[in-house]
Amino acid sequence: MRTKILELLKSQEQISGAEISKALGISRTAVWKHIQKLQEEGYVIEAATKSGYRLKSVPDTLLAQELEPLLTTRELGRNFIFRREVTSTNDELRQLADAGAPAGTVLLAEVQTKGKGRLGRHWISPSGVGIWFSMLFRPDLPVARAPEYTLVTAVAVAEALQSFGLDAKIKWPNDVLIDGAKVCGILSEMRGDMDGLHWLIVGAGINVGQQALPEEIAATATSLALASGKSLRRSQVAAAVLNKMEYYSDLLQQQGFEPIRQRWLANAMVIGKEVKARTPSGVFEGIAMDLDANGCLLLRNADGKSTTVITGDIVVCE
Ligand code: BTN
């Protein structure tokens, strides 16, 4: 109901309680209660006895009422869950996945108290400045192909950010960077067996509004605000990512990994560069040559020897 009231408030300069009540078939008292709730959520709504309600400003919120109207998806985000605070959106969604939540469920939180990064790292997830969310997929794929979704997500995030005029690029395997500094990290988790995937959760964290970053990440990370000087609405960025994400996950389902690989390569910042890869089987240096059909990075060292990097982290050598 609040989404509908907001639609009415946004569609005209001012509107009376009686008009809203008539349009939506609810009492004027109910209208007033919803208006109060919206005001608590940060909407500035002027209420004058004679002229009615006037929406003066909309908060930078990720509540469903701001996000859902911007979605063009068929399935992704149609079951949208917003939480004020969670330990980790991946962990929270994992419980719902095990309990049978539908494919396409998106869980987004304002704050994560134990945000998880790759390789057991912590992901700093403060309130009001980021987009911390997880998406649930139930693709009919063998477990070994799950990492393709992580690469799909990197492509979707990079292209969504580019649609706001930002020069976002992908660093293998799935960090999204602007001017060489990380703005988004992606962490996938899955449950599956020999028969295939039961569920796949892809979590992404996008730094949006931070004007300064904590010391531990200040040298390597950035936010959209710091990188561009623009203040973007989080709901618009989140919706753009989800819209792209469904497009590319559909493409993966329909045409396999090759078109994704092409998009990944078109958006990658590492190809042709000298990199150092830290992997469980050692450190390798070489020129990043290509992404193979399994999403692994191919390096060629000074002796012409090739290495396939399956997992790990890379640093681009200056
Ligand atoms: C990385 O680059 O190390 C991956 C970071 C992933 C962070 C996101 S924020 C939303 C989701 N929930 C988590 O606990 N982690 C991911």
Q: What angle do CA 316, 179, 110 make, to 5 degrees?
A: 105
Q: What is residue 1's predicted lDDT score, i.e. its pLDDT? A: 87
pLDDT tens across 40-57, in order?
999 999 988 777 999 999
Verdict on whether the full-model pTM lies above 0.85: yes
3-state secondary structure of 211: coil
121 lines ligand 1 (CB under 6 A): yes
pLDDT confidence tier of residue 76, bands split at 50, 70 and 90: very high
pLDDT at 153: 98
Q: Measuring CA to CA, which residue among 291, 290, 284 is closest to residue 305?
A: 284
Q: For a substitution probing ligand 1, which of 95, 116, 118, 135 has the most ligand atoms within 8 Å of its CB?
A: 116
Of 49 and 243, the structure prediction assigns the larger pLDDT to: 243
Distance between Cα 132 and ligand 1 center (Å): 7
Taking residues 26-41, report their average pLDDT.
94
Three-class SS of 256-278 = CCHHHHHHHHHHECCCCCEEEEE
- In the numeric block, which tokens belong to residue 292? 């193979």
pLDDT of residue 119: 86
Q: From the CA of 235, how far away is ligand 1's center (Å)?
A: 18
- From ligand 1's centre to the CA of 123, what distance in Å? 6
pLDDT in tens, 258-299: 999 999 999 999 999 999 999 998 999 999 999 999 999 999
Question: Which band of pLDDT confidence, cut at 50, 70 and 90, is reported for residue 2?
Answer: confident
Q: Is 126 in the pocket of ligand 1 (CB under 6 A)?
A: no
CB 25: neighbour CB atoms within 10 A? 7
Tell me, using a 6 A CB cutoff, whether residue 187 lines ligand 1: yes
